[in-house]
Amino acid sequence: MEEILKQAELTGALSDLAMGIIIIPMIILLFKKKTMLKLQKQWWLCFFATLCVSCFLGFTVHYFCKSELSKQIVWLPLYILLFEVFDCFFLVALSIFSDDKKPQKKHIITIHLISLIAYIITQILIRVYNFDSIRLLTIFNTVIALIGFALILVKSFKKGHIGERILFCALLPMLPAGYFQIKRNSLVKMIWYFDHNGLTHLLIIASILILFCAVNISLNKKIDK
């Protein structure tokens, strides 16, 4: 059983690495893309860049960090970044919903403040009541993602934009991914063994591929020629 768990941790680490590598060309292509939707492009770049760094930090935790101290040192910025990923996504959703109008400064501050408060609450619950940090993070980010996707869906049906409708489809693989992270005791053999982390990463990779295609179509709505 110990060998199976080691293999599952390895597949979790390698799937994190694979996701980070997959995102790099997406960031480059998105950076080079010409579009009039400058604000959406900016927030999407922030989203993909933050997610990419999170993937490499996740790989570092699972593959290189053997002691509890080293894991805690790397896990702290990783945990903060995972909050920031969904902040960026929510700001993208607001940008899409408002037709690429820049969100007011107070809205941006409010979103980051909510995440900061959520982070502080999770830290208290982890230290005082020994709650699982990933479960708390997953629950909070799922709520933020669902609100963001709802804004995008409403806008897509108002305007009839196919890009936003495809973007909504990226939510589908994220739902079972969230389930695996909350459950946290999954172990599945698919050539190699995958635990909840590995399964989550595979589903998020599928979601990211759909998301990137949708972003490209969405940003093509008004090409700056």
pLDDT at residue 168, rounded to an integer: 77
pLDDT tens for the 225 residues of the chain, in order? 677 777 788 898 999 999 999 999 999 999 999 888 888 898 899 999 999 999 999 999 989 888 888 888 888 889 888 888 988 888 888 888 877 676 667 777 777 788 888 888 887 887 787 877 788 888 888 888 888 888 888 877 776 667 777 887 888 888 888 888 888 777 787 778 888 888 899 999 999 999 999 898 888 865 444
**Domain annotation for the chain: domains and CATH numbers:** 2-220 (1.20.1070)
Q: State pTM to two decimals.
A: 0.86
What is the model's pLDDT at position 1?
Answer: 65
- Distance between CA atoms of residues 78 and 71, nearest Å: 10
